[in-house]
Amino acid sequence: MSWTQRVSLTLALALIVVACSASPFEAPLSTTPTSTAPPTSVSLDGQSTSTTVAATATTTSEAADAQQADLLLRNGRIVTVDAEFTIAEALVISGGVITGVGTDEEMATAIGPDTVVVDLQGRTVMPGIVDPHTHHMQLVAPDQGAMLAAQDYMLSVGTTTSGAPSVRPDQLAAFEALDDQGALTQRVHVYLNHNGVCDEREDTGLFAGRTFTQDPSLRLAVAGVKLFADGGTCNGFAISEPFRDTAPQNLKDRGFHDHGSLYLTAAEVSDVASAVDAAGGITVVHAIGDVAVSEALRGLEAAYEAKPFVHHQRIDHNSFTQLLTPAQLSTYGRLHMTPVVFPQPWGNGCSEETAGVWESILPEDFYESVEDTAALRDANPDMRIAWHGDAPNLPGDPFHLMFTLVAAGAIDLETGDACYPDWWTGWHTVDVEEAIRMLTINAAAAMGIGDAVGSIEVGKVGDVLVLANDILGTDPEIAVAHNSVIATLVDGSTAFCVGEMCNLLNPSPAPVSGDCVPPPDGVQSWWPGDTGGDDLIGDNHGSFLDRTRVDRGYVGDALRMDLSSMALSEQPYLADGFTIEGWVYVEAATFDRGNNLFNNNQFFLRKNLPAEGGGFAAFVKLSDGSVEPRAQSATAAVPEKWTHVGVTWDQRTLNLYVDGQLSGSSARAGTLVSETVEPRVGSGEQTDVDGNDFSGLLDELTIYDRPLEPSEIASIHAAGSAGKCKG
């Protein structure tokens, strides 16, 4: 079902007309908060806070009534980031789309027999963070494993949609491969290179003949083109006054001398922007320095005057706009742009060395106006302004950078403490509501998807975060700087979670009192766990190592492993294709360690580290020595919850199933490596590394000599605690 069809169906069921947020080509969102006198409540961090529970429109209640909820989050502080910055108590998600927002009582009408109801106990929920400009995944491409680890990190800090600028052909191919495998959990918009940071031109024209899209239903969208107007970090940014002669020699050698480097003329910017807009895309212009920003504005203005833009064209960074004239700055408003800015002065603000470097490089007027957007706001009071992380070029996660916006503070990356740098004195801050808008709805507007992403409103995608602290609390260090994400939902599905919130969002399947399912043909070995390591079918019995024992499981008894493993007496035969499946229960106390489930060198299965997203990952080692790309689950594993995991390989494709559904896939054509190691259950590819062994329970582990069909795996999962029939 397409995005349009899905939303249309949701709205028809809800009997409402959705009031989507305006695009930059329409009237801007109001930033006026509700004036209702709020009752007082106490947040989890103990702060006294204000809560305004929205008197939701009838249409919102009808939305909840009309469609049974997949998920109901209740008894919380739902920061909707709608036009009035409404604070609600509850929200409903059905089919990946938000179908209700309002009071607990109103939303309770959406509860059905299969609804997952989560009592937030006062926790704060906000929209997923949208980062229009980050290099987390791009800079490690085409290494797919590193790209997935970068994605997992972004999900852990709440980024549900990201833009990857200046993507080269080899990097684009890697993104496309991950998308084909179903491994992209975020929405990722890539912008193709026009020229590089050092003005490399080998990729110029890469976009010729291509049609762009910003379709929010896609996990990967080739959304536009990135231009470097100036040298940035390679040849120095383009400024009207010369860099100081006191600049360190290594920076002088990199181009930080004279006036820096201007790469593009206004005419070239205009030509590219016109062509990209005609092809349905967004032009992203990198501009650091008043000369670079001025030239980019002149180019975009010329293109707009020749033919008004249909799509959102933008400038990223926009550094030193304080030094432009009011007439130049008003060009942003005339072109209906959403500028994307650095949220803080560059570098680690808690480091005196960082301050000293920039003071030695920049002319005085420039040093005093590093990343200060006050004049830009003054010249365009009704214009949205968005943030970007530009990681890894800026330190800190989105909440650290938001802290700079609201308090002119930074986080010491070594100690984790907040500091308030002297060299940021006079920094123009914004209130926390505006900072949240910059990281959500404004950023979505800059990416051309503000009608579907960026706020918690009926009809929008179910991208939401559950936070550890109240982000609207009175102490910005607690509310913002030291806040953290305890759950990230994308399209209403858990993409990241920690602790008890994992159990609440993903409750264990209820025990089944029905019939068992006959085991599919091709069983090679079966360790039900009821009699220890005995193989029910053959002679490949297991020997317990260290602290392995039998304990109560999901289907009868199971193997309990306390950072230990079970050695098999025979090598399973996997060369012609295979399946391995069973029920897995990961202990919460060791969830942040590596938890490996099987290894014989030809195949290994593990629960990844939280830094990698905490999901399941399967690998086959081929005769060429390769183990990537892996098949990796699209969502994180959940501690202390029984999960059915299955892996199949048919000599061409490696598929990973979680709870009966295909969750990850990778192309792995070839033959398995002939060299093996002692096959072990509960141990991984690095058996000598502490923490690699499994801690938890394994039940009904079974190896087949063929790849099972998806329907066969689904039937095993559906049987639940009845399990596979024995005897």
Q: What is the pLDDT of residues 232-267, one digit of tens each?
A: 878 999 999 998 999 888 888 888 899 999 999 999
Q: Which of 558, 578, 591 is nearest to 681 (CA)?
A: 558
Q: So what's the pLDDT on residue 40? A: 25
Q: So what's the pLDDT on residue 173? A: 94
The answer to whether residues 672 and 623 touch, using CB atoms and an 8 Å cutoff, is yes
Pairwise CA distance, residues 505 & 73, whole Å = 9
Pairwise CA distance, residues 250 & 348, whole Å = 19
Q: So what's the pLDDT on residue 692? A: 66
- With the CA atoms of 438, 441, 442 and 448 taken in that order, what torsion angle do they form, in degrees rounded to the nearest 10? 150
Q: So what's the pLDDT on residue 203? A: 59
What average pLDDT does the segment 168-194 reach? 92
Q: So what's the pLDDT on residue 101? A: 97
User: Please, what sign has the CA dihedral across residues 551, 555, 556, 559?
Assistant: negative
For residues 562 and 478, the model is more confident at 478
The answer to whether residues 525 and 538 touch, using CB atoms and an 8 Å cutoff, is yes
Q: Which of 296-310, 502-516, 626-640 has the highest mean pLDDT?
A: 296-310
121 conformational bin, left if phi > 0, alpha if psi -120 to 50, beta if neither: left
What number of other Cβ atoms are within 10 A of residue 551's Cβ? 13
Residue 136 has pLDDT above 90, yes or no: yes
Q: So what's the pLDDT on residue 548? A: 62
Distances (CA, A) of 451 to 8, 29, 31, 87: 14, 12, 17, 20
Q: So what's the pLDDT on residue 204? A: 58
- The full set of domains in the chain, from first to last, is 3-128+499-505 (2.30.40.10), 129-453 (3.20.20.140), 523-722 (2.60.120.200)
The answer to whether residues 698 and 597 touch, using CB atoms and an 8 Å cutoff, is yes
**In the chain, what percentage of residues exceed pLDDT 90?**
59
Distances (CA, A) of 282 to 23, 446, 448, 450: 14, 9, 8, 14
Instruction: Report residue 675's pLDDT band, with 50, 70 and 90 as the boundaries.
Output: very high
Pairwise CA distance, residues 91 & 455, whole Å = 12
Instruction: Report residue 428's pLDDT band, with 50, 70 and 90 as the boundaries.
Output: confident
What average pLDDT does the segment 600-616 reach? 87
Q: How many angstroms from the chain centroid is the CA of residue 332?
A: 29
Helix extents (H) in 335-476: 352-361, 364-367, 374-379, 398-407, 432-439, 441-446, 476
Q: So what's the pLDDT on residue 14? A: 33
Q: What type of residue sits at position 243?
A: F
The answer to whether residues 218 and 234 touch, using CB atoms and an 8 Å cutoff, is no
Instruction: Report residue 547's pLDDT band, with 50, 70 and 90 as the boundaries.
Output: low
pTM equals 0.74
SS3 671: coil
Q: So what's the pLDDT on residue 238? A: 94
Burial class (CB in 10 A: 0-12, 13-18, 19+), 631: buried
What are phi and psi for residue 627, nearest 5 degrees? Answer: -125, -5
Pairwise CA distance, residues 344 & 660, whole Å = 45
Q: So what's the pLDDT on residue 201? A: 82
Mean pLDDT, rounded, of the chain: 85
Q: So what's the pLDDT on residue 611? A: 73
Q: So what's the pLDDT on residue 546? A: 63
What average pLDDT does the segment 103-120 reach? 94
For residues 87 and 146, the model is more confident at 87
Q: So what's the pLDDT on residue 685? A: 53
Per-residue pLDDT reduced to its tens digit, 262-297: 999 999 999 999 999 999 999 999 999 999 999 999
The answer to whether residues 272 and 227 touch, using CB atoms and an 8 Å cutoff, is yes
Q: So what's the pLDDT on residue 202? A: 66
Per-residue pLDDT reduced to its tens digit, 52-107: 333 333 334 444 444 689 999 999 999 999 999 999 999 999 999 999 999 999 99
**Token pair belonging to 290:** 């008043």
Q: Which of 438, 321, 334, 427 is nearest to 376 (CA)?
A: 321
Q: Which residues make Cβ contacts (< 8 Å) with residue 238, sequence separation at least 6?
A: 229, 230, 231, 259, 260, 261, 262, 288, 289, 291, 292, 295
What average pLDDT does the segment 34-55 reach? 30
Q: So what's the pLDDT on residue 27? A: 32
Instruction: Report residue 22's pLDDT band, with 50, 70 and 90 as the boundaries.
Output: very low
**Token pair belonging to 124:** 């704060």
Q: So what's the pLDDT on residue 58? A: 32
Residue 50 has pLDDT above 60, yes or no: no
Distances (CA, A) of 385 to 398, 399, 455: 16, 17, 15
Partners of 564 in beta bridges:
694
Q: So what's the pLDDT on residue 32? A: 29
